[in-house]
Amino acid sequence: QKEVEQNSGPLSVPEGAIASLNCTYSDRGSQSFFWYRQYSGKSPELIMSIYSNGDKEDGRFTAQLNKASQYVSLLIRDSQPSDSATYLCAASFYFGTGTSLTVIP
């Protein structure tokens, strides 16, 4: 399977801070990239999708894609305790193992 690598964490940030999540992928042919959030015991749900190089913003979330470096990132601004979850990066339909994020009140 195509590899998608994420820092497994855990990553802890204080409430209100910026959380930065990173991901690299091995398949240069990948055309679509996704960040999913998964709460414990629940199924993954889409946070952001990105298809072109550069930044894409949606509310407190910004996804960044650099195809030359095969790198995808997710920034979460003004982190809230409700953002505490595992964040899964996907290149097409291949997933990383996830980064666990804890936002400390």
Partner 1 sequence: DARVTQTPRDKVTEMGQEVTMRCQPILGHNTVFWYRQTMMQGLELLAYFRNRAPLDDSGMPKDRFSAEMPDATLATLKIQPSEPRDSAVYFCASGLGQYETQYFGPGTRLLVL
State how far the alpha carbon of 86 is from the alpha carbons of 28, 31, 41, 91, 97, in Å: 25, 23, 11, 17, 9
Examine residue 34 and tell whether it contacts partner 1 (CB under 8 A): yes
The smaller minimum CB distance to partner 1, of residues 79 and 98, is found at 98
User: Does 44 sit behind a cis peptide bond, omega within 30 degrees of 0 on the bond before it?
Assistant: no
Examine residue 61 and tell whether it contacts partner 1 (CB under 8 A): no
Near partner 1 by CB under 8 A: residue from 17, 94, 100, 102: 94
The smaller minimum CB distance to partner 1, of residues 44 and 73, is found at 44
- Whole-number Å distance between alpha carbons of 105 and 97: 26
Examine residue 53 and tell whether it contacts partner 1 (CB under 8 A): no
